Amino acid sequence: MIDSALIGWSRAQFALTAAYHWIFVPLTLGLAVIMAVMETIYFVRKDEFWKKTAQFWMKLFGINFAVGIATGLILEFEFGTNWSNYSWFVGDIFGAPLAIEGILAFFMEATFVAVMFFGWNKVSRGFHLASTWLTGIGAAISAFWILVANGWMQHPVGMEFNPDTVRNEMVDFWAVALNPVAIVKFFHSVLSGWMTGAIFTIGVACWYLLRGRETKFALASIKVASIVGIVGTLAVMFTGDKSGVHIAEYQPMKLAAAEGLEDGGERAPFSIVPGIEVPGMLSILATHDIDGYVPGINDILDGYTDSEGVRHLSAEEKIYKGKTALKAFRVYRKIKDSAPNAAAEVKKVFDENKEYFGYGYIQDREDLVPPVPLIYWSFRVMVGLGSFLLLLMCVVLFFSWKGRVKDMKWLQWVALLSIPLVYLAGQAGWIVAEVGRQPWAIQDLLPVSAAISNLSVGAVKTTFFIFVAVFTAFLAIELSIMFKAIKKGPEVEENR
Amino acid sequence: MNRIRTIFNFYIEGFRNMTWGRPLWIVIFLKLFILFFVLRLFFFKPVLSGKTESEKSDFVGGSLVERIDE
């Protein structure tokens, strides 16, 4: 019997690791673009000021990169130890993207990061610039393969489950690599990194303005970061819209939970906060049609017919089919060698019901509903903060062009205090994505209760608290080195 | 061979001339040590390691079947 405490602690441990990992990743992705744009300006104008400006942000990029390095590896340790059933079940679907990511990350980053940091006086300006861009592109490519793996968990495609090996075997690499959920998730996540890098840069630059130092450097940095951030945020909004349509189609329970929508229908309203709704807006966001049908939590549990006339099974029907698939799986594994003909018949039953495999582990229909308040509010935190930060960057850019930012203390304070908010928005987004798909480790195929390894709760608890201590220590080290570097400031000549 | 030496020297000189980057390398090595020699060695033992492909299938298949009625 799997202890529910074991599931809770294993999930908490994985969530903790992923959340810490996502502190470092978005800043790497965002600063990479900002410093590359700055170096490009240096390349075009041959102005040493821009070289020194780029070098300062590169230094902060280096600190974040170094402290964040290999945090993601811990997730892979956890797959093998805490999620061994899952790791085997996903088969080469996970192995291929993660292997490509590992090789690419190692070679691109080891090569181009080194040229970027060590090569200023050793390689040509053009080669150095290319290395800086390739460092950022390498980080984005790494993120792509990770998100291909994550996208597959949200919307499994391109595979065939083999009951003999108990693995999902890849039958179409391109279906996995170009999974629309993964593509949208890639752009949404990477561009949110641009937003993080931009808010971080603007906030740090505003700190210099508040201290009355490095004014020229700060104003130049604000302009570049605001433009990168606004472009990134607008693209995040566009991909967020696409993501909403995908969630409505592939994970309707996640959407219903994010909206706290008990009973759906056509012209479904969008909840701004409890009690304030925009009529028809959810239908527009989810289906791009004001008359589009959006199922609520009860509709999904009871079964419903969508706008296309497609009937979606109730929870009980899915659980029944899931249990049928699991029973067939059990019998097939028992008789496949001793009675191959009978096994072939059983396999037919399995194949007819395997789409609902994971539902066989669901004991109660309510287990199919993720924690609604957490997802509902996380979604609002993500969207609310994202909108506020977009407005902030537009205001900062506007007054920057007007030449007034350096005198606007209140705006400088708001920008500085907004640095934690961009991280909060990113974490909230991942809570919506990952908690929103509970109870599934792999959507519809494997719930967390079946994906987990049968370890002792004490062991998982111990590693959880070790991680809290280790990660917090490394975060404190990063912040300490980062603050020292910021305090020291760039080596630009302000009066040029 | 010369090219390999040039690349090698590029890295060595880069590391030698580092100023602010040195504490970072200490952090990186400390982190990798904790990851691979503490956490990996003492706390994270892959459940399926040491098993053949067929044993892994049987183990996970058995585990998935065991949990059907839970």
State the smallest CA–CA distance between residue B51 and chain A in angstroms: 12
pLDDT digits (tens, 9 = 90+) for A382-393: 999 999 999 999
Residues in A touching B59 (Cβ below 8 Å): 88
pLDDT greater than 60 at residue A405: yes
pLDDT greater than 80 at residue A96: no
| CB spacing of A74 vs B39 below 8 angstroms | yes
Q: Among A20, A57, A123, A166, pick the best mutation site for testing chain B contact (most B Cβ within 10 A).
A: A166
Contact with chain A for residue B25, Cβ under 8 A: yes
Q: How confident is the model at residue A439 (pLDDT cuts 50, 70, 90)?
A: very high
pLDDT digits (tens, 9 = 90+) for A256-296: 999 999 999 999 999 999 999 999 999 999 999 999 999 99
Whether residue A487 contacts residue A479, with contact meaning beta carbons closer than 8 Å, is answered with: no
Q: Quick one: average pLDDT of A352-367?
A: 94
- Domain boundaries, position B65: 2-69
Alpha helices, DSSP H only, in A119-213?
A: 125-154, 173-177, 180-211
DSSP letter string, A149-164: HHHHHHS--SEEEETT
Residue in A with minimal Cα distance to B66: A1
CB-side neighbour CA atoms (13 Å) of A335: 15
pLDDT digits (tens, 9 = 90+) for A130-183: 999 999 999 898 899 899 999 999 999 999 999 999 999 999 999 999 999 999
Could you tell me which residue, A276 or B39, shows the higher pLDDT?
A276
> Is residue A483 classed exposed, middle or buried when 0-12, 13-18 and 19+ CB atoms within 10 A define those classes?
exposed
Count of domains forming chain B: 1
Q: How confident is the model at residue B39 (pLDDT cuts 50, 70, 90)?
A: confident
Degrees, nearest 5: CA angle A313-A7-A168: 55
Q: Among B6, B17, B68, B70, pick the best mutation site for testing chain A contact (most A Cβ within 10 A).
A: B68
**8-state DSSP, A270:** E
Q: Quick one: average pLDDT of B25-39?
A: 84
Phi, psi values for residue A262, rounded to 5° = -70, -50
Give the residue from A478, A383, A394 showing the smallest Cα distance to A192.
Answer: A383
Q: Which helix (H) or strand (E) holds A293?
A: strand A293-294
Measure Cα distances from A230 to A139, A187, A191, A388, A424 in Å.
21, 15, 10, 12, 18
Residue A363, SS3 per DSSP: coil
pLDDT greater than 80 at residue A69: no
CB pairs below 8 Å between A and B: how many? 116
ipTM surpasses cut 0.95? no
Residues in A touching B32 (Cβ below 8 Å): 70
Contact with chain A for residue B65, Cβ under 8 A: yes
pLDDT digits (tens, 9 = 90+) for A230-243: 999 999 999 999 99
Residue with tokens 């199919």, as numbered in its chain: A368
pLDDT greater than 70 at residue A495: no
Q: Quick one: average pLDDT of A11-31?
A: 94
Count other C-beta atoms under 10 Å from residue A398's C-beta.
12
Q: How confident is the model at residue A496 (pLDDT cuts 50, 70, 90)?
A: very low
pLDDT for the residue numbered A57: 96
Residues in B touching A117 (Cβ below 8 Å): 14, 21
How many residues appear in chain A? 496
pLDDT for the residue numbered A493: 67
Residues in A touching B65 (Cβ below 8 Å): 326, 329-330, 333
How many residues appear in chain B? 70
